[in-house]
Amino acid sequence: MTLFIWLFVYVTMIPLIIYIFIRLVKWAKGMPKGAYLFIAFMPLISLFPIPPTVFKNVAKAKQEQRKKQTDSDQ
């Protein structure tokens, strides 16, 4: 029974995924070139790590905000 279910899932999902990808490519080709390139390179931007100094600045800002809140509460 489970083999039949898995077979059904694969037989229905693979063509559906292929159809969605084809529609996505057709949609993207109709976009302006700049937007197409931006969407193409967006995953590459996420590969670069955020520098540790940014984390330190955020932590300092949170601490200062907590101090200001406690000072204003008193």
| Residue 57 to residue 65: CA distance in whole angstroms | 12
pLDDT band at 10 (very low <50, low <70, confident <90, very high): confident
- For the segment 29-57, the average pLDDT, to the nearest whole number, is 76
Q: Give the residue extent of every domain in the chain.
A: 2-73
Q: What is the pLDDT of residue 54?
A: 66
**What's phi and psi for 20, nearest 5 deg?**
-65, -40
Q: How many CA atoms lie within 13 A of 10 on its CB side?
A: 6
Mean pLDDT, the chain, rounded, equals 80
> What pTM, to 2 d.p., does this model score?
0.41
Q: Which two tokens stand for residue 62?
A: 């949170």
pLDDT band at 65 (very low <50, low <70, confident <90, very high): confident
Q: What is the pLDDT of residue 74?
A: 61
Would you give the DSSP letter of residue 47?
T
Q: What is the pLDDT of residue 38?
A: 80
| Residue 15 to residue 21: CA distance in whole angstroms | 10
